[in-house]
C-alpha cells in the first residue's frame, strides 16, 4: 500500500459525476452528483439495493458508458484514455470466458490483442494461472470447469495486463456460499500481492465488510452515494475475522447506513 | 452407439420408402384412378404399369446396363461422370455464394443502414424464379464473352447456383455475428479492441454454430441451383441435362431417368457431407452449444 506517498495519483477520482439514460418513457437519472476518490492500492466496495447505480458507476469508470456530467479521471487521465491505455482490468458476474478457447488462451486474450510476444505471453499466463491456483487446468476448456474455477480464470484474465486498478461487478454473485468465501480470501491475497486498487460492486454486506478498506453505500431514485463506511481490518483479513465481534460491528454499521437509520432488532419492537 | 443407431434409422427410412413404392405398384390400379367427366378428367392416383413405375430392381439393373446400348459404358459410370461435373460447378457456386453471403452479413452487422437497405432485397431475391433468372445470367455471360471477356457457360451455372447459396449464409452469418453476449462485447471494448480484432477474435468464432447449418443449406441449394440451371440453359455434361435427356426417352426406357435421379440425390448427400467434415474441424467453436 502506498499510504506514505502524498503525491500518489489516485486510482479513481470522480466529482459531481452523473448519468442520465434516455429511455422510451423519458429520461432516467441513473446516477447523480457522485464524489468519490479511490486511492492507489485501496479496496473500495460499492453496495446498495438494485437501481442504486453501483454497476453504472463501475461502467463509467471503465468507460463502457460515458458520464453525462461531472469529471471522472482514472490515474489522473480521462476514463476514455485510461481504457485505451489498459489501466484497468475488469470482471463481471458471469465469467464471460470464450468457450472455444482453453483456460490459457482465455487468460492470454488481452495480451494477444495488445500484441505481446508469444514467449512473454506464455510466461505471463503461467504466472497468472499459478496466482489463481489453476496451473493444472490451463489446457481445459471453460465447459470443463466449475463456476468458481471459471470466475478465477476471469480474474486472472482481468489481471493479465498487470493493471493497477481492478473493476469487479458482483464477480461472486452467481456462486455458492462456500466458493464465495474461498474466492473472497483469494481476492484479498491477490489484491495484496499485485498492489492493485479494487472497485468492487456487491450487494452482500458481509462480503463488502470482509474485503474492503472502505464501503461506499449507495441509494436509488436517483442513484447516489449516501455514506462511506471505513473498515479497520487492513492486514488481518483471514477466516478468524469472519467470526470476530469487530467484524459484526462493522456489518451492523454498513446495514444501518444502508437503511438510513439504526436497525431495530426484532426483540426491541 | 448413437452413430450406429442414427445409421440404422436412416436405413429403415430407405427400406420403408422402397417398400411403399413396391407395395403401391403391386396394389394400385395399372391405369391409375381417374375421376371426372371425359375431357376434364383428373388423375387422382398415379399409374402403376411398368412404363410409369419401374420396379426398383429394374432401376438397379438399368444402372449397370450400357448407357445407350452397344458398347457404351454402364449407365452408372456416365451418371457418376455427370455428377462429378455438376458437383464441381456447384462447388464453385457454393464458394461464390459463401463469399458474397459472408461479405453481405459483415456489412449488415457493421452498419444498421446497410442492413435496412440490403436485407429486404436479399429476402426478395429468393422469390425470383430460377427458371426466369437463369437465361438472363446466361445471356449476360454470352455478351461478356462476345465483348472479349472470359465467361465459359458452366460459369453461368455456377453463378446461378451461388444465387441460391448466398442467402442462407448471409442470414445465418448475420445472426451469428450478432450472437456474442453483451458481456463479451463489453470485454472487447475494455481491451480497446477495434472492429477487426473484435470480428476475428469474437464475432466470427462465436458465429460458427450459426454458420455451419447455413453452409450445409447453402451446399444443398448450390446443388439444386446447378442442376436446375443446367436444364434451363441447356449446358451439356452435367447431371441436370442428362436427367432431361433420359426423361425424354422414358416411354421406351422407363428405368433410365432414375439413374441420374439417384445421381442427383448422391450429389446432394456428398455436398452436405463435405460440410459436415468441415464442421468436424471446427468442433472447438461449437463448445458453447453443450454448456449453455
Give CA B132 to chain center in angstroms.
18
| B34 in a structural domain | no
Tell me how far CA of residue B233 lies from CA of A8, A228, B160, in angstroms.
78, 80, 11
Residue B192 is nearest to which of A86, A92, A143, comparing CB atoms?
Answer: A86
| B23 in a structural domain | no
Nearest-Cα distance to chain B for A81, in Å, is: 10
Confidence of residue B175 (pLDDT cuts 50, 70, 90): very high
| Contact yes or no for B201 and A113 at CB 8 A | yes
How far apart, in whole angstroms, are the C-alpha atoms of residue B10 and residue A176? 45
| B62 in a structural domain | no
Nearest-Cα distance to chain B for A80, in Å, is: 10
CB B190 within 8 A of CB A88: yes
**In the prediction, which pLDDT does B17 show?**
93
Tell me how far CA of residue A90 lies from CA of A110, A164, A215, A237, B32, in angstroms.
11, 11, 19, 23, 74
| Contact yes or no for A84 and B186 at CB 8 A | no
Most confident of B44-58, B124-138, B174-188: B174-188
Q: Which residue segment(s) compose the domain that B210 sits in?
A: 74-283
How far apart, in whole angstroms, are the C-alpha atoms of residue A46 and residue B43? 78
pLDDT by position in tens, chain A (length 269): 444 444 468 888 888 888 888 878 788 888 888 888 888 889 999 998 888 888 888 999 999 988 888 888 888 888 888 888 888 999 998 888 999 999 999 999 999 988 888 898 999 999 888 888 888 888 899 988 888 889 889 988 988 888 889 999 988 887 888 888 888 888 888 888 888 899 999 988 888 888 888 889 888 888 888 888 888 777 777 777 878 888 788 888 888 888 865 555 545 44
Tell me how far CA of residue A219 lies from CA of A48, A210, A211, A259, B196, in angstroms.
6, 21, 21, 9, 40
User: Grid coordinates 455428377 are at which residue?
Assistant: B83
Chain A residues in contact with B193 (beta carbon < 8 A) = 113
Q: Does B236 touch chain A (CB under 8 A)?
A: no
**In the prediction, which pLDDT does A7 show?**
47
Q: Does B204 touch chain A (CB under 8 A)?
A: no
**In the prediction, which pLDDT does A2 show?**
43
In chain B, the residue whose alpha carbon lies closest to the alpha carbon of A85 is: B192
Tell me how far CA of residue A171 lies from CA of A161, A179, A183, A210, in angstroms.
19, 12, 10, 15
Residue B12 has pLDDT above 90, yes or no: yes
Residue B287 is nearest to which of A96, A112, A143, comparing CB atoms?
Answer: A143
Q: Does B180 touch chain A (CB under 8 A)?
A: no
Task: Give the Cβ contact number of residue A93 at 10 Å.
Answer: 18
Residue A113 is nearest to which of B186, B191, B205, comparing CB atoms?
Answer: B191
Name the more confident of A228 and B89. Answer: B89
Q: Which of A82, A96, A115, A139 to mutate to test the interface with B (most CBs of B within 10 A)?
A: A96
User: CATH no. for residue B176?
Assistant: 1.10.3720.10
Phi first, then psi: give them for residue A29, nearest 5 degrees. Answer: -85, 110
3-state secondary structure of A213: coil
Q: Which of B182, B191, B290 to mutate to test the interface with A (most CBs of A within 10 A)?
A: B191
CB A72 within 8 A of CB A14: yes
How far apart, in whole angstroms, are the C-alpha atoms of residue B10 and residue A58? 55
Q: Which three cell numbers stand for residue B276?
A: 459436415
| Contact yes or no for A143 and B183 at CB 8 A | no
Q: Does A172 touch chain B (CB under 8 A)?
A: no
Residue B280 has pLDDT above 60, yes or no: yes
| B226 in a structural domain | yes
CB B155 within 8 A of CB B233: no
Task: Give mean pLDDT, residues B139-154.
Answer: 82
| B235 in a structural domain | yes
Confidence of residue B252 (pLDDT cuts 50, 70, 90): confident
Q: Which of B182, B183, B184, B286 to mutate to test the interface with A (most CBs of A within 10 A)?
A: B183
Burial class (CB in 10 A: 0-12, 13-18, 19+), A243: exposed
Q: Does A78 touch chain B (CB under 8 A)?
A: no
Q: Does A115 touch chain B (CB under 8 A)?
A: no
Confidence of residue B173 (pLDDT cuts 50, 70, 90): very high
**In the prediction, which pLDDT does B20 show?**
93
Return the axis-axis angle of helices B204-233 and B153-177, rounded to nearest 10°. 150
| B112 in a structural domain | yes
Dihedral sign computed on CA atoms, order B52, B55, B60, B61: negative
CB B232 within 8 A of CB B238: no
Q: What is the tally of structural domains in chain B?
A: 1
**In the prediction, which pLDDT does B215 show?**
92
User: Grid coordinates 463448445 are at which residue?
Assistant: B287
How far apart, in whole angstroms, are the C-alpha atoms of residue B129 and residue A101? 44
Amino acid at each position: 500500500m502506498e499510504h506514505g506517498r502524498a503525491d500518489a495519483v489516485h486510482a479513481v477520482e470522480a466529482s459531481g459525476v452523473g448519468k442520465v439514460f434516455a429511455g422510451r418513457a423519458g429520461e432516467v437519472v441513473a446516477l447523480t452528483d457522485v464524489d468519490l476518490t479511490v486511492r492507489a492500492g485501496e479496496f473500495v466496495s460499492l453496495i446498495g439495493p438494485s437501481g442504486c447505480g453501483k454497476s453504472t458507476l463501475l461502467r463509467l469508470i471503465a468507460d463502457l458508458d460515458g458520464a453525462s456530467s461531472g469529471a471522472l479521471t482514472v490515474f489522473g487521465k480521462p476514463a476514455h484514455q485510461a481504457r485505451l491505455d489498459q489501466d484497468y482490468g475488469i470482471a463481471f458476474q458471469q465469467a464471460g470466458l470464450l468457450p472455444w478457447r482453453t483456460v490459457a488462451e482465455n487468460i492470454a486474450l488481452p495480451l494477444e490483442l495488445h500484441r505481446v510476444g508469444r514467449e512473454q505471453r506464455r510466461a505471463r499466463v503461467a504466472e497468472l494461472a499459478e496466482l489463481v491456483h489453476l496451473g493444472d487446468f490451463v489446457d481445459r476448456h471453460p465447459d470443463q470447469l466449475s463456476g468458481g474455477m471459471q470466475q478465477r480464470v476471469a480474474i486472472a484474465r482481468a489481471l493479465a495486463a498487470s493493471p493497477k486498478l481492478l473493476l469487479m461487478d458482483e464477480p461472486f454473485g452467481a456462486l455458492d456460499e462456500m466458493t464465495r468465501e474461498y474466492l473472497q480470501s483469494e481476492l484479498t491475497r491477490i489484491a495484496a500481492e499485485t498492489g492493485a486498487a479494487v472497485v468492487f460492486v456487491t450487494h452482500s454486506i458481509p462480503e463488502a465488510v470482509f474485503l474492503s478498506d472502505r464501503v461506499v453505500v449507495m441509494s436509488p431514485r436517483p442513484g447516489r452515494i449516501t455514506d462511506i463506511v471505513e473498515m479497520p481490518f487492513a492486514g488481518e483479513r483471514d477466516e478468524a475475522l469472519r467470526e470476530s465481534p469487530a467484524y459484526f460491528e462493522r456489518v451492523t454499521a454498513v446495514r444501518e447506513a444502508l437503511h438510513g437509520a439504526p436497525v431495530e432488532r426484532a426483540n426491541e419492537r | 452407439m448413437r452413430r450406429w443407431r442414427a445409421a440404422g434409422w436412416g436405413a429403415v427410412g430407405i427400406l420403408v420408402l422402397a417398400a411403399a413404392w413396391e407395395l403401391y405398384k403391386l396394389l394400385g390400379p395399372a391405369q391409375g384412378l381417374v375421376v371426372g367427366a371425359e375431357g376434364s378428367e383428373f388423375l387422382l392416383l398415379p399409374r402403376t404399369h411398368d412404363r410409369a413405375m419401374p420396379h426398383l430392381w429394374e432401376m438397379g439393373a438399368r444402372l449397370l446396363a450400357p448407357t445407350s446400348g452397344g458398347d457404351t459404358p454402364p449407365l452408372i459410370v456416365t451418371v457418376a461422370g455427370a455428377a462429378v461435373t455438376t458437383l464441381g460447378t456447384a462447388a464453385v457456386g457454393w464458394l461464390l455464394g459463401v463469399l458474397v453471403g459472408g461479405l453481405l452479413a459483415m456489412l449488415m452487422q457493421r452498419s444498421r443502414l446497410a442492413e435496412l437497405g440490403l436485407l429486404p432485397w436479399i429476402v426478395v431475391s429468393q422469390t425470383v424464379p430460377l427458371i426466369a433468372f437463369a437465361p438472363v445470367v446466361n445471356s449476360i455471360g454470352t455478351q461478356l464473352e462476345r465483348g472479349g471477356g472470359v465467361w465459359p457457360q458452366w460459369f453461368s451455372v455456377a453463378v446461378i447456383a451461388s444465387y441460391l447459396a448466398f442467402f442462407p449464409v448471409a442470414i445465418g452469418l448475420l445472426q451469428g455475428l450478432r450472437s456474442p453476449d453483451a458481456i463479451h462485447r463489453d470485454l472487447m471494448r475494455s481491451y480497446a479492441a477495434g472492429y477487426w480484432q473484435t470480428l476475428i477474435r469474437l464475432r466470427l468464432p462465436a458465429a460458427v454454430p450459426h454458420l455451419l447449418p447455413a453452409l450445409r443449406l447453402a451446399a444443398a441449394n448450390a446443388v439444386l441451383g446447378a442442376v436446375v440451371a443446367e436444364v434451363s440453359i441447356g449446358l451439356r455434361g452435367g447431371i441436370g441435362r442428362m436427367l432431361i435427356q433420359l426423361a425424354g426417352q422414358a416411354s421406351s426406357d422407363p428405368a433410365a431417368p432414375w439413374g441420374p435421379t439417384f445421381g442427383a440425390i448422391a450429389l446432394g448427400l456428398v455436398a452436405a457431407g463435405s460440410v459436415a467434415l468441415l464442421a468436424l474441424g471446427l468442433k472447438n467453436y461449437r463448445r458453447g452449444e453443450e454448456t449453455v
